[in-house]
Structure 1
Amino acid sequence: MPLPMSKTQNFENHAKLYPLHHFIIMPMALIYLGWTVVRTDFSSSTSVAESIYQLLLAFLILLISYLPRIYAIKNQNRIIRLEMRQRYFHLTGSTFYDIEIQLTSAQIIALRFAGDDEILALIDKSIKENTTPKEIKKSIKNWKADHHRV
């Protein structure tokens, strides 16, 4: 049974921004990288070494702040693939593997938002017409909300 949420999810509002990541950590890491680039000094061997050191540190901070998000999204995408395998089997009684190889990961993730009453038709359409994930999401009539997506 789905959890009650304050707002119905649809194509227009399904993307999420996480304030700590999107508005604090990443901007600060980018500002630090930009500030470091502006302050690079190649006037002497000591300043070149210091500038390279600071650039490496700034780039490392940027990567470290982005890496957990990449891991979370990759893990969630694997879970969505497993969920789609289970849903497809539940709806058809057959495995999803033969269908899965005909779809991109992004298509599978987009199809995840379709309700059980329309997902099979959207899968067929996606395979036949090579529908983009955005087109898939826009064509969903019975949106199956995912309020836990990273």
Structure 2
Amino acid sequence: METQNYNNHRKYYPPHHFVYLPLLLILEIVGIYKIFKDPENQTMWILFSIIIFLILYLAIMTRQHYALGLQNRLVRLEFKQRYFEIFNKRSDEVEEKLSFGQIAALRFAYDDEFKELLYKTLNENISGDQIKKSIKKWRADHHRI
């Protein structure tokens, strides 16, 4: 498995990203093309295009909503657990001061860097992207959705 880092940490689900969504996109393009090239059936092609667009939109939004919602909850839980293991106290006060992007970025740091970056984040309010770029030894997350 390839070593994970800032440049390659995004993940794709091939059936969804490279088959289903492109197929819907192609159908949408065909529908729009036919609206102008088949005037006899223009109303049918407009309806076809609207339905395909709605299916495409629903497919993207539903998948993203459920996957990201669950993933965000797990990332927050992981932060709470790591914070407790490292500092032996609850993370409630610290967590309130951090955005989700900052919490998510901190998960890529090993414990020693986690402490340093957490301190820096709390004092300098650096963004999640800045946290990721600051990580020297990347802690890979190969289980993301």
Q: For the superposition of Structure 1 and Structure 2, which TM-score range results when normalised by the shorter chain?
A: 0.7 to 0.9
State how far apart, in whole Å, the 2-side matches of 1:73 and 1:95 are. 25
Q: Flag structure 1 segments of 5+ consecutive residues without an equivalent.
A: 1-5
1:102 is aligned, of 94, 97, 100, to: 97
Q: Write the distance in 2 (CA, Å) between the matches of 1:127 and 1:30.
A: 43
Amino acid at match of 1:62: L
Count of aligned pairs: 143
SS at match of 1:117: helix
Superposition RMSD on alpha carbons, in Å? Answer: 2.2
AA aligned to 1:139 is S
What do the CA deviations read for 1:102-144 (whole angstroms, capped 9, x no partner)? 2111111111111111112211212332222221111112221
TM-score (norm: length of structure 2): 0.84
Task: Select which of 62, 65, 83 maps to 2:59.
Answer: 65
Question: Matched residue of 2:144: which SS?
Answer: coil
Structure 1 or 2: larger helix share?
A: 2
Paired-residue identity, %? 42
> In 2, are the aligned partners of 1:29 and 1:65 still within 8 Å (CA)?
no
For the structure 1 residues 57 and 126, does the alpha-carbon distance in structure 2 shift closer, same or farther, using more than 3 Å as the test?
A: same
**In structure 1, how many angstroms separate the alpha carbons of the residues matched to 2:56 and 2:127?**
30
* 1:1-150 correspondence runs (5 A): 6-40=1-35, 47-48=42-43, 50-66=44-60, 67-150=62-145
The amino acid of 2:14's aligned partner reads P
One-letter code aligned to 1:99 = V
| Counterpart position of 1:3 | none
Structure 2 spans left out of the alignment, 5+ residues: none
